[in-house]
Amino acid sequence: GVSAQFYDDFSVEMVEDDDVEMGFTEITDGPLPCNGYPEFRKLPLNQAFYLGAHNAGSHVFDKPCQGSQTQDISQMLEDGIRYLDINLCKDRGKVVICSEFDSTPSSLYFTDVLESIFTFSRDNVEQILILNLKSQNVDQAVETKDLEDLIDERCKVHTELTPGTSEFVKKECPFVEVFVAGKNRWPSLGKVVNYDPEMSQWVGDGEVVGVRTKLHISIADSIVSTPNYKTSYFSPAFWRSIHKDNKVESLADFKKTLGQLCRVPAGGIGLEAYVSDSCSAELNQGIANPSFIEDTLVSRSGCNLNDSPLNTFISFISMDNYELELPYLKELEARMMDLNFEKWSGNYKPIQPSKLLKEKKEITRDEL
């Protein structure tokens, strides 16, 4: 598990540069560096906060319950989603998106999912994408070698399309950031994407070259390990899952389970805002409701975040149909990045209240 060791020797340089260099701008129309937060570039990758989508790629299903999303993966990434939870299975020898609800294989190949991800990674610099791959509740689970072969196949194409990269070597995809647990400390966001405004970045005529957006890929226990095969691309999940050892079947279960996780100072927690293994759009909407999320995060019967240990923090929020709550999610991301940075720096600080919900409340009151 993640222990408090990351607090013992976090970089001292962080304290020195309070004045974030605002003068530095890169020629880019896309999102700002470090997932939109260049000012937090020294925060380790495992202590940042990411906006997520549950069962990304399941927009291809049209029956009720089979899918959890309506947006495709390219749109998700454009919208600022940075954590993609992807359910896969094998169907007629191909790896495809599969329904977690009833095991139905889809017509969307994992290759096409990767194509969307690599294309975004080439077009947008200095972003960090977290991919969580699983084969949950499927007839034929995917093996680790299948996944890595497909990653290599797409990565080769996109490496060759990226100026300033050396020749592609199998099992060394430059887009994948691999972290080996126990071997080293988690790198900072800035280090992962090679963003450091204090360094001279310019090569030639000011073009940014090389691979500048990275993928952190973790696999769930439901992915099968290929016998006698050593994986190259998978890193440990840096969060604790609400659903892994618990059956969450109601809003009360969700709140209670999160409360139990928050009391244990063991690193990040994934706020997986949906019920376990059931098809209830109503319950999932209830859990993903901003007022419920806020209450669950700060109330004593929930996470009690404002009175939690430094090594308890939220790693991501992942929900169904995220686009319905996008303004709130963007605001939550800003508040969480700020809070996680403070906690990493050793400061106990309450989370800033949501201005959006406050405005909503005031509007309803005015209408009465």
pLDDT of residue 236: 96
pLDDT of residue 202: 43
Q: What residues contact 102, with CB distance under 8 A and at least 6 apart?
A: 65, 66, 137
Strands 128-134 and 105-109: unpaired
Mean pLDDT of 137-159: 98
Mean pLDDT of 150-172: 96
Identify the residue with better confidence: 317 or 284: 317
CA angle 357, 289, 335 (to 5 degrees): 50
pLDDT of residue 364: 66
pLDDT band per the 50, 70, 90 thresholds, residue 2: very low
What is the helix, strand, coil percentage profile of the chain, to 5? 35, 15, 50
Share of the chain above pLDDT 90, in %: 78
pLDDT band per the 50, 70, 90 thresholds, residue 182: confident
Residue 13 has pLDDT above 50, yes or no: no
pLDDT of residue 365: 61
pLDDT digits (tens, 9 = 90+) for 131-141: 999 999 999 99
pLDDT band per the 50, 70, 90 thresholds, residue 205: very low
pLDDT of residue 1: 46
CATH of domain 42-237: 3.20.20.190
Q: What are the tokens at 296?
A: 């669950």
Identify the residue with better confidence: 48 or 286: 48
pLDDT digits (tens, 9 = 90+) for 224-271: 999 999 999 999 999 999 998 888 999 999 999 999 999 999 999 999
Residue with tokens 């001279």: 200
**Domain chopping of the chain, boundaries:** 42-237, 240-368
pLDDT of residue 70: 96
Q: What are the tokens at 236?
A: 């440990």
pLDDT band per the 50, 70, 90 thresholds, residue 24: very low
Mean pLDDT of 181-209: 77
Asked if residue 294 lies in contact with residue 303, where contact means CB atoms within 8 angstroms, the answer is: no
pLDDT of residue 75: 98
User: What is the residue type of 52?
Assistant: G
- Please list the alpha-helical segments (H only) found in the chain: 5-8, 13-16, 33-36, 73-78, 110-123, 144-160, 189-192, 251-263, 281-287, 290-298, 326-344, 355-367
Sequential DSSP letters for 249-305? -SHHHHHHHHHHHHHS-SEEEEEE-S-SS---HHHHHHHT-HHHHHHHHHSTTTT-G
Q: How far is CA 230 from the centre of its chain?
A: 25
CA pair distance 224, 330, nearest whole angstrom: 35
CA pair distance 318, 106, nearest whole angstrom: 22
pLDDT digits (tens, 9 = 90+) for 44-101: 999 999 999 999 999 999 888 899 999 999 999 999 999 999 999 999 999 999 999 9
Residue 340 has pLDDT above 80, yes or no: yes
Share of the chain above pLDDT 70, in %: 88
Give the phi and the psi of residue 160 in degrees, each rounded to 5.
-70, -25
